[in-house]
Amino acid sequence: MSLLMNYADERFVEIAQKVFTEQFKRDPQLEDEMDERRKKLMYDDVVYNISYLMTAVYFKDQKIFEGYAIWIYELLCNLMKDLDRDRIMTQMNDHYRILSEILNQEGEALLSEEEQETATAYLNLAIEVTEKAETKIRYSTQFKEGAHYEIRKMYLEALMRNETREAHRVIIEAREEGVPLVEIYDTILGKTMHEVGELWHRHVITVDKEHYMTAVTQAVMASFYSEIFSQPRKNKRMVSCAVGSELHELGIRMLSDLFEEKGWDTYYLGAALPEESILHAIGEHEPQLLALSVTMPLHLPVCERIVARIKETYPKVKIAVGGHAFINTNELWKRWGIDYYSTTGRELIDWAEEEFQ
């Protein structure tokens, strides 16, 4: 049994098609609500829903699918503004019920009896959290919490207005006024870019806008490189990268910059790197620490596999993980024997400085 979805696997394709067809059969109103474009997107969502469910069942971690169910509901509410939230809630919960029925009827070739029971429990949980979803959309409160909120607000507002120079000025001025670089990265840029991701997920901003904001932030970071690379070296080395086909690499790049500023020699490998290349880089650079980032939960199985191979091939290398994908898990990293998990660069630096004295 392989729960890691192969999208070309005829068994998964057949289940997705049956779920899609059955939902239209039971709910004739869908024909009036869905044009051909929406039907295609709906089918794609069925496949995506199954892939998230299989990932959650594979790790026996209900939070993965619980968080996904809330996210997909809010996303669809923003995409289909011609339908009210109650109607979209009905569509989603009907989908979860139908998927549960079909998996229990025809999932024996894919799932064990225990896995079928787990999948059913997670689908019931998805129905529960969708029914409890708020009727009004609220912006992230996390963005408003903590130090330097006014600076974050000015920076984000400049980005929203496409004022690149003003965005640079806000951050450079904050540094000149004495805000430590780790706070510039973690508390200001990091939290702002997390909020940008939330805005994109909710379709408040378009993907081109999100790319623009990311590019500006990368340029802002580059403006500190002369300061970062002028620090005395400590003869400590770190390799870092984003895992799998992950393209969300800004967070791990920020982490690498912060370690470099602390005197470490860092080897930032970027994103979408083959496993063999990661292993080769460890052999070449002989780091004390490897930092892996995962943003999308679908890439967690890849991270698990990479961690296992590194622990077997290079047992002396310490491994740290982070990224948004780990937030909605039940401390999944502990099962893999990870040396450290952190949500901020400052936490990991403090641990590493003590660990590698």
The one-letter amino acid code at 167 reads: A
3-state secondary structure at position 318 = strand
Q: What is the pTM of this model?
A: 0.73
Select the CATH number that applies to the domain covering 10-131 from these four: 2.60.120, 1.10.490, 3.30.750, 3.40.50: 1.10.490
Q: Which CATH class is domain 232-355?
A: alpha beta
2-38 per-position pLDDT tens digit: 444 444 567 778 888 999 999 999 999 999 999 999 9
Q: What is the CATH superfamily name and number for domain 142-223? A: Methionine synthase domain (1.10.1240.10)
Task: Answer yes or no: are the C-beta atoms of 100 and 122 closer than 8 Å.
Answer: no
What is the chain's percent helix, strand, coil content, to nearest 5?
Answer: 65, 5, 30
d(CA 166, CA 158): 6
* pLDDT value for 1: 34
Cβ distance 44 to 13 under 8 Å? no
Q: CA 264 → CA 287, 315, 345, distances in Å? A: 10, 21, 14
At position 43, the amino acid (one-letter code) is Y
User: pLDDT of 235-289, one tens digit each?
Assistant: 999 999 998 776 678 999 999 999 999 999 999 998 888 899 999 999 999 999 9
Query: How buried is 269 (Cβ within 10 angstroms: 0-12 exposed, 13-18 middle, 19+ buried)?
Result: middle
Q: Summarize pLDDT for 147-192 with one digit per residue, the tens.
A: 999 999 999 989 988 889 999 999 999 999 999 999 999 999 999 9
- Sequence length of the chain is 357
Residue-range domain boundaries for the chain: 10-131, 142-223, 232-355
